[in-house]
């Protein structure tokens, strides 16, 4: 087993950072602006943001929900509590836990942000169907195939053109944190 890398692989590292840069810059800036207004409107109407993902996307959901609350001053939660995940998965099946959590925790005027790198996670897709049935605003973040099932289910759909998990996840996180800072910056401009 190798204990260290013998030489630097410039091609790989340059390609990796180039992929992230291209993914981040490919976003429609008008879409980010409209999404920012949707988040602000939900907050003004007593709603909250609910972030849901699996694995790395769940970690991102935790991170950005705190930043939306603290920095953007928009109430946000995530569904990453171990008790919630294990209880609802045990009782309803893993593919249905998000649907049941939304049914239990969402309120009128909430915005549901569903994150799946592949856009094919059954629990996230079922959550999107549940949120739509409840009349909630749905935001999806996905990658991989452009016609993935999740991408067709949102009111706002952000898609990263990559099949590499880390590239997709980093791009999603940068887009969401850009919205946090955009809202925070816009509020300071209004108060100046």
The answer to the question of residue 2 being in a domain is: no
CB 172 within 8 A of CB 29: no
For the four alpha carbons of 178, 134, 90 and 76, in that order, the dihedral sign comes to positive
The answer to the question of residue 15 being in a domain is: no
pLDDT digits (tens, 9 = 90+) for 133-192: 999 999 999 999 999 999 999 999 999 999 999 999 999 999 999 999 999 999 877 665
Closest CA relative to residue 69, chosen from 50, 41, 83: 50
CATH of the domain at 141: 3.40.50.10490
- pLDDT given at position 6: 85
- pLDDT given at position 123: 98
User: Which three-class secondary structure state does DSSP give residue 50?
Assistant: strand
Closest CA relative to residue 179, chosen from 31, 26, 22, 25: 31
- Tell me the residue range of the domain where 108 lies: 28-191
Q: Which two tokens stand for residue 144?
A: 């991989």
The answer to the question of residue 18 being in a domain is: no
C-alpha distances in Å from residue 180, one per residue of 42, 43, 128: 14, 13, 23
Q: What is the mean pLDDT of residues 121-140?
A: 98
φ, ψ (nearest 5 deg) of residue 147: -105, 30
Percent of the chain with pLDDT over 70: 98
Q: What is the mean pLDDT of residues 50-68?
A: 98
pLDDT of residue 120 exceeding 90, the answer is: yes
pLDDT of residue 113 exceeding 70, the answer is: yes
- pLDDT given at position 190: 65
Number of structural domains in the chain: 1
């Amino acid at each position: 087993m190798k204990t260290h890398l013998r030489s630097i692989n410039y091609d790989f590292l340059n390609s990796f950072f180039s992929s992230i840069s291209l993914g981040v810059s490919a976003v429609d800036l008008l879409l980010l602006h409209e999404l920012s207004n949707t988040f602000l409107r939900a907050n003004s109407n007593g709603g909250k943001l609910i972030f849901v993902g699996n694995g790395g996307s769940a970690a991102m959901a935790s991170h950005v929900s705190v930043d939306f609350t603290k920095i953007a001053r928009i109430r946000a939660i995530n569904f990453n509590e171990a008790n919630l995940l294990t209880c609802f998965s045990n009782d309803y099946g893993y593919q249905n836990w998000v649907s049941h959590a939304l049914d239990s925790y969402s309120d009128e005027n909430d915005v549901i942000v569903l994150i799946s790198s592949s856009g094919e996670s059954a629990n996230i897709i079922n959550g999107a169907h549940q949120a739509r049935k409840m009349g909630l605003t749905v935001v999806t973040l996905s990658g991989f195939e452009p016609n993935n099932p999740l991408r067709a289910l949102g009111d706002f759909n952000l898609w990263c053109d990559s099949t590499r998990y880390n590239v997709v996840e980093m791009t999603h996180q940068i887009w969401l944190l850009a919205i946090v800072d955009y809202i925070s910056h816009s509020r300071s401009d209004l108060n100046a």
